[in-house]
Amino acid sequence: MRFNGFQVFALLSLVLSVCGCTAQGAHDDSVVGPDLSHNGPFSAAQDIVLTGIVSTATDAPPPVRITIVRGDHEDVATLENVVSYTKPYLAGVTYHAFTPIIAETNADQKAYWIIGLNMTRTPDRSIYTILRYPYGLRIEPGLTSDAFEYLSLDCADLDLARQSQYEIDTTDKSGKAAKRFVPLEAAPPPEAGACEYNSLKEAIAVTPAVFRNYDRLKNESDAPRLSWHSLHVEVR
């Protein structure tokens, strides 16, 4: 999964990542969808601080600190770029748990959440990021952990989820250029735009399919890969 130029919420969207741009036009390549549920993985906490762990990877987003304050009716996130210390952004935060369609051993099993960050505070215009952490981890005050990871959900991911096959460039026995096709399982077509979720029903159906098709391509050397980024999480 690639990051767009703004990456505004790569880091939590729990993911998100603020690059220091303006909020306007930030979501060119990010998946936009309906606001989700107020009940999420941090229900037992009052404040949660998520900080991107510095990485030398070429696709690593700039480190960002996100502080989420729980509220009776809305969770509010403050997004800060810890490199440039530009003016922080505020966003409403909503959540939805899901189970990806992938093969995981019990030892590797993780909990997955869609995190919606609504920076404009316009209803149902949240940007989506995926958060995961070890299944069964108790998220409660006092927890400090580097076991959390996130990735942003973008247009290319939805496109892959809706494909029935993936084309691989190869060569035939004579050395001539050829094509090979890996069968995939296509998610339902878009209800509206190709890079957005028009409804919660669509988000619930298509997001697991994103992981299913990436999982089917995991043994193909030239196929795209999921790119997870690490988070340091403190729960208060």
pLDDT in tens, 72-82: 888 999 988 76
Higher pLDDT, 154 or 25: 154
Q: Provide the domain count of the chain.
A: 1
Mean pLDDT, residues 103-108: 78
What percent of the chain is predicted at pLDDT more than 70? Answer: 82
Residue at 198 is within a domain = no
CA atoms of 32 and 57, how far apart (whole Å): 26
pTM passes above 0.75: yes
- Alpha-carbon span 19 to 7, nearest angstrom: 7
Write the CA distances from 205 to 85, 113, 199, 201, integer angstroms: 38, 14, 10, 6
Kindly state whether residue 24 falls inside one of the protein's structural domains: no
Q: 85-89, 179-183, 200-204 — which is least confidently predicted?
A: 85-89
Residue 42 is encoded by which pair of tokens? 């941090």
Q: Does some domain include residue 205?
A: no
Yes or no: say if 66 and 16 are a contact pair by the CB < 8 Å rule: yes
Q: Which domain holds residue 63?
A: 32-154+225-235
pLDDT score at 27:
43
- Spatial separation of the C-alpha atoms in residues 8 and 162, rounded to whole Å: 25
Is the residue at 41 inside a domain?
Answer: yes
Q: What is the pLDDT of residue 59?
A: 60
Considering the domain boundaries, does residue 16 fall inside one? no
* Structure-token pair, residue 156: 């290319």
Would you state the torsion angle of the CA atoms of residues 165, 204, 130, 227, taken in this order, to the nearest 10 degrees? 0
Residue 11 lies inside a defined structural domain of this protein: no
The answer to whether residue 130 sits within a structural domain is yes
Q: Find, among 155, 178, 175, the residue nearest to 224 by Cα.
A: 155
pLDDT for the residue 101: 86
**Binning pLDDT at 50, 70 and 90, where does residue 11 land?**
very low
Render pLDDT for 27-61 as a digit per residue (tens, 0 to 9).
458 899 999 999 999 998 999 999 988 766 656 66
Residue 220 lies in a domain: no
Given a cut of 60, whether residue 170 has pLDDT beyond it is yes
Mean pLDDT of 122-131: 92
Which two three-digit tokens encode residue 179? 């094509």
- Whether residue 3 is predicted with pLDDT greater than 80 in this model: the reply is no
In total, the chain counts a number of residues equal to: 236
Q: Which two tokens stand for residue 136?
A: 């069964």
Strand residue runs (E) in the chain: 32-33, 47-52, 64-69, 75-81, 89-98, 110-118, 126-134, 144-152, 165-171, 177-183, 229-235
List of residues 6+ apart from 132 with CB closer than 8 A: 110, 111, 112, 113, 148, 149, 150, 228
